[in-house]
């Protein structure tokens, strides 16, 4: 884990070097100050025998030493802050970039709240631990080394006493730190669970209240909250043992220096001023152990959070486009699907031996019971998921032969998706203006083009009634608009781009019947000359389709026009008649 953090530090080695040098200067000045104090004490012999001139010179030196130490420490903190938050910025940037590259299967299989917790809360905790580590670790180590050198220059025997007792402090801190790491791991994981639950409940509060599920949600929250309290208390308890334990050992060091130093002073081995220096150094020597032991517990928490962050960053990304992947400029609309098999999990089969030929400009409707694979088929067309076996191929305008098709795995994902326009039942609008949302797929669109698209989608009239019209700010996921208005904006977004192929997955499910009739007419105009895939539950909306695919359990069981399928009196006829049956 430490190696992974060090990789991010490579870019900031100059700041690291400056920080270490300044820490050394700060420590040197801090350690030099007791020598000045000791010299001043030795100049005060007895009443009437005080060297005021010498003390004045020492005071001047002390002021310079304090000033240099203060300035060096301030610049060191600036360097540490800059280094820490640049590293954290890089980690968070890499985490978000990885989110953009992860396969859709990862996002679908993970709690969104836990992912958010990793990128936000865990990175913040890591930043706090890292900053404390930089600030106290460098100066702490420098203080320990510097103090030992100064004490050795004064008296070897007393210094030896200090060195012999020191490992006890290190052993105690190390033992407790190992215990706290697992506690902090559990704490971070449970925080992620709690964030996930809160995120889920906020997004679906209407459903929770509609089904009077508040008590069950409260119980689930309290269960997670109690676990978090338990893990947090255990982590805090064990980490809080470090400081008093090391302070006890450090007090032993101070007492030993005092006793041995006093005996040495009585014997004439050192002066009273030097004894004063030794006692100050004993304090300064043990102080970093307290600080470092405190830093270690914070670092344990930070590293536990870092493990979750790096787990996300190191997650296997979506298989990248091949270096020689083809840029599909203008799809002809010809689609060939051969022997396609796909399942989300190996143990649960979904689409098996799927075959289909679609000609340019053909309107293909896909119907069937829930869970038969309609939306999955759309996901495969767009390469949100890759097929397990078989192939999906597309033609390009200008190809000499109708059989000259490209496997979508050999096409760049971006160019493939640019050739599709998609309107889903589940609408999504980003936080921003209505203008920005409509022009998402075509930012360079003119005002006239945008308004024409909105009019074609029958969204212009309600947009003009809004306070700022097209510049009206939309809340997160269009919270200040009705579901029908959001869907109209999503339709306008596709109307503006008008790609050669369309995917309409229950695109008018949230629109009133009168507006739906108008939208259907607009769709007919839009679909003219474009290959269209229409997923529908209301079978009355697909009567005009050129071909209707009836799916069941991942297979096409019937295929034909509306009239042909009704004449067969098969599964489609049963579905269709059930929607118009009288009770």
DSSP states along 348-407: B--EEEEEEEE-TT-EEEEE-STTSSHHHHHHHHTTSS--SEEEEEEEETT-SSTT-EEE
> Which residues, including other chains, have CB under 8 Å from residue 382's CB and lie 6 or more apart?
416, 417, 420, 422, 503
Intra-chain end-to-end CA distance of the chain, in Å:
66
Average pLDDT over residues 126-139: 72
Confidence of residue 480 (pLDDT cuts 50, 70, 90): confident
- Say if CB 80 and CB 131 are below 8 A apart: yes
- Say if CB 382 and CB 335 are below 8 A apart: no
Dihedral pair phi/psi, residue 98, rounded to 5°: -65, -35
Q: What is the largest CA-CA distance in the chain?
A: 125
Q: Does residue 583 register a pLDDT over 50?
A: no
Q: What is the pLDDT of residues 240-250, one digit of tens each?
A: 776 677 777 77
Question: Residue 69: helix, strand or coil by DSSP?
Answer: helix
Average pLDDT over residues 446-467: 88
Share of the chain above pLDDT 70, in %: 89
> Which residues, including other chains, have CB under 8 Å from residue 538's CB and lie 6 or more apart?
579
H/E element, 342: strand 331-342
> Which residues, including other chains, have CB under 8 Å from residue 236's CB and lie 6 or more apart?
none
Residue 478's pLDDT is 67
> Which residues, including other chains, have CB under 8 Å from residue 56's CB and lie 6 or more apart?
none
Question: Higher-confidence residue: 69 or 296?
Answer: 69
Residue 11's pLDDT is 84
Query: Which parts of 382-482 fold into alpha helices (H)?
Result: 413-418, 434-438, 447-456, 460-464
Query: Which residue has tokens 């150094």?
Result: 281
Dihedral pair phi/psi, residue 472, rounded to 5°: -65, 130
Q: What is the pLDDT of residues 70-109, one digit of tens each?
A: 998 899 888 888 888 888 888 888 888 888 888 877 877 7
- Say if CB 142 and CB 24 are below 8 A apart: yes
Burial of 316 (0-12, 13-18, 19+ CB in 10 A): exposed
- Say if CB 192 and CB 117 are below 8 A apart: yes
Burial of 522 (0-12, 13-18, 19+ CB in 10 A): middle
What are the Cα distances from residue 263, in Å, to 100, 160, 271?
70, 15, 11
- Say if CB 132 and CB 139 are below 8 A apart: no
Distance from C-alpha of 445 to C-alpha of 453, rounded to nearest angstrom: 10
Confidence of residue 582 (pLDDT cuts 50, 70, 90): very low
Distance from C-alpha of 555 to C-alpha of 355, rounded to nearest angstrom: 9
Query: Which residue has tokens 């050129």?
Result: 546
Residue 401's pLDDT is 58
Query: For residue 269, what are its two tokens?
Result: 């081995």
What is the DSSP secondary structure assignment for residue 490, as one 8-state letter? H
Average pLDDT over residues 44-49: 66
Q: Does residue 541 register a pLDDT over 90?
A: no
Share of the chain above pLDDT 90, in %: 2
Q: Does residue 172 register a pLDDT over 60?
A: yes
Average pLDDT over residues 470-498: 82
Query: Which residue has tokens 């296997």?
Result: 316
Distance from C-alpha of 79 to C-alpha of 238, rounded to nearest angstrom: 32
Question: Higher-confidence residue: 146 or 455?
Answer: 455
CB burial of 542-569 (b: ≥16 within 10 Å; e: otherwise) equals beebebbbbbbebbbebebebeebeeee
Q: What is the pLDDT of residues 300-345, one digit of tens each?
A: 777 778 888 888 888 887 888 888 888 888 888 889 989 888 888 8
> Which residues, including other chains, have CB under 8 Å from residue 137's CB and lie 6 or more apart?
292, 295
Confidence of residue 67 (pLDDT cuts 50, 70, 90): very high
H/E element, 503: strand 501-505
What are the Cα distances from residue 73, in Å, to 22, 138, 225, 375?
7, 11, 41, 61
Residue 510's pLDDT is 65
Dihedral pair phi/psi, residue 332, rounded to 5°: -80, -20
Question: Higher-confidence residue: 133 or 213?
Answer: 213
Q: Which of 19-23, 27-31, 107-111 has the lowest mean pLDDT?
A: 107-111
Q: Which of 18-32, 190-204, 267-281, 298-312 has the lowest mean pLDDT?
A: 267-281
Q: Which of 46-60, 275-289, 318-332 has the lowest mean pLDDT?
A: 275-289
Distance from C-alpha of 534 to C-alpha of 364, rounded to nearest angstrom: 6
Number of residues that this document lists for the chain: 583
Distance from C-alpha of 209 to C-alpha of 206, rounded to nearest angstrom: 5
Domains of the chain (ranges; CATH) run 2-308 (1.20.1560.10), 428-498 (3.40.50.300)
């Amino acid at each position: 884990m430490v190696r992974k953090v060090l990789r991010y530090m490579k870019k900031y080695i100059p700041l690291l070097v400056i920080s270490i040098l300044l820490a050394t200067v700060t420590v040197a000045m801090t350690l030099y100050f007791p020598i000045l104090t000791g010299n001043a004490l030795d100049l005060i012999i007895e009443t009437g025998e005080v060297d005021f001139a010498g003390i004045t010179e020492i005071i001047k030196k002390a002021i310079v030493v304090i000033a240099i130490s203060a300035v060096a420490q301030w610049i060191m903190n600036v360097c540490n802050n800059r280094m820490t938050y640049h590293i954290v910025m890089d980690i968070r940037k890499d985490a978000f970039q990885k989110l953009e590259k992860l396969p859709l299967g990862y996002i679908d299989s993970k709690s969104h709240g836990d992912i958010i917790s990793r990128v936000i809360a865990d990175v913040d905790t890591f930043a706090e631990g890292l900053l404390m580590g930089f600030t106290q670790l460098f100066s702490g180590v420098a203080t320990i080394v510097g103090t030992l050198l100064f004490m050795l220059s004064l008296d070897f025997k007393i210094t030896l006493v200090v060195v012999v007792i020191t490992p006890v402090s290190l052993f105690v801190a190390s033992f407790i730190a190992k215990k706290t790491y697992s506690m902090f791991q559990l704490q971070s994981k449970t925080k992620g669970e709690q964030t996930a639950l809160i995120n889920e409940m906020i997004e679906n509060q209407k459903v929770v209240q509609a089904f009077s599920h508040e008590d069950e949600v409260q119980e689930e929250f309290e269960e997670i909250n109690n676990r978090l309290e338990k893990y947090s208390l255990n982590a805090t308890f064990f980490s809080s043992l470090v400081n008093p334990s090391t302070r006890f050992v450090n007090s032993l060091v101070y007492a030993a220096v005092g006793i041995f130093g006093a005996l040495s002073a009585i014997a004439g081995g050192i002066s009273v001023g030097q004894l004063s220096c030794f006692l100050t150094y004993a304090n300064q020597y043990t102080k970093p152990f307290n600080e470092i032991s405190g830093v270690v517990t914070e670092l344990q928490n930070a590293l536990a959070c870092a493990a979750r962050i790096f787990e996300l960053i190191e997650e296997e990304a979506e298989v990248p486009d091949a270096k020689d992947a083809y840029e599909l400029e203008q799809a002809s609309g010809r689609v060939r699907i051969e022997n396609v098999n796909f399942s989300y999990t190996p143990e649960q089969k979904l689409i098996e031996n799927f075959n289909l030929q679609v000609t340019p400009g053909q309107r293909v409707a896909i119907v069937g019971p829930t869970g038969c694979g309609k939306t999955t088929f759309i996901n495969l067309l767009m390469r949100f998921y890759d097929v397990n076996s078989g192939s999906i191929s597309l033609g390009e305008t200008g190809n000499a032969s109708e059989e000259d098709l490209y496997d979508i795995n050999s096409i760049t994902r971006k160019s493939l998706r640019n050739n599709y326009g998609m309107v889903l039942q589940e609408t999504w609008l980003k936080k921003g203006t209505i203008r920005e949302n409509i022009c998402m797929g075509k930012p360079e669109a003119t005002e006239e083009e945008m308004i024409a698209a909105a009019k074609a989608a029958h969204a212009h009239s309600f947009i003009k009634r809004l306070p700022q019209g097209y510049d009206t700010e939309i809340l997160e996921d269009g919270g200040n608009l009705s579901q029908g208005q959001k869907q109209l904006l999503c339709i306008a977004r596709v109307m503006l781009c008008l790609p050669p192929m369309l995917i309409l997955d229950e695109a008018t499910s949230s629109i009133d019947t009168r507006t739906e009739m108008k939208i259907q007419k607009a769709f007919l105009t839009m679909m003219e000359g474009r290959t269209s895939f229409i997923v529908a539950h209301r079978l009355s909306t697909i009567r005009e389709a050129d071909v209707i695919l009836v799916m069941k359990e991942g297979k096409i069981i019937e295929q034909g026009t509306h009239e042909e399928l009704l004449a067969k009196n098969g599964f489609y006829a049963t579905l269709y008649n059930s929607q118009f049956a009288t009770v």
